[in-house]
Amino acid sequence: MKKVSTSSLLKMKQDKQRISALTAYDASFAKMFDEQGIDVLLIGDSLGMVLQGADDTLGVTVADIAYHTKAVRRGTQRAFVVADMPFMSYATPELAYQNAAQLMSAGASMVKLEGGSWLQETIKGLNERGVPVCGHLGLTPQSVHVFGGFKVQGRDDLQAEQILEQAKELERAGIQLLVLECIPSGLAEKITHSLNIPVIGIGAGNLTDGQILVMHDMFGISANYMPKFSKNYLLASGDMRAAVNDFIREVQEGTFPSAEHSFN
Neighbours of 91 (CB within 10 A): 11
CATH of the domain at 19: 3.20.20.60
Residue 1 lies in a domain: no
Which one-letter DSSP state was computed for residue 85? Answer: P
The number of distinct structural domains making up the chain is 1
**Which H or E run includes 136?**
strand 133-138
Does the pTM surpass 0.75? The reply is yes
Binding-site residue ranges for 3-methyl-2-oxobutanoate: 45-46, 84, 112
pLDDT value at residue 142: 74
Residue 37 lies in a domain: yes
pLDDT along the chain (264 residues), means of 10: 95 98 98 98 96 93 98 98 97 98 98 96 98 95 65 88 97 98 96 98 96 96 80 94 98 94 84
Residue 129 lies in a domain: yes
Q: Which of 35, 121, 165, 181 is catalytic?
A: 181
Residue 160 lies in a domain: yes
3-state secondary structure of 223: coil
Yes or no: say if 198 and 19 are a contact pair by the CB < 8 Å rule.
Answer: yes
Neighbours of 60 (CB within 10 A): 25
Residue 111 lies in a domain: yes
Residue 246 lies in a domain: yes
3-state secondary structure of 255: coil
The strand pairing partners of 212, in sequence order, are 21
Neighbours of 148 (CB within 10 A): 7
Rounded CA-CA distance 60/112 in Å is 14
- CB-facing half-sphere around the CA of 124: CA atoms within 13 A: 8
Q: Is 128 a catalytic site residue?
A: no
pLDDT value at residue 146: 66
Binding-site residue ranges for Mg(2+): 45, 84, 114
3-state secondary structure string across 29-67 = HHHHHHHHCCCEEEECCCHHHHCCCCCCCCCCCHHHHHH
* 71 alpha-carbon distance from chain centroid: 18
Residue 250 lies in a domain: yes
Residue 255 lies in a domain: yes
Binding-site residue ranges: 45-46, 84, 112, 114
Q: Which structural domain range is residue 30 located in?
A: 6-261
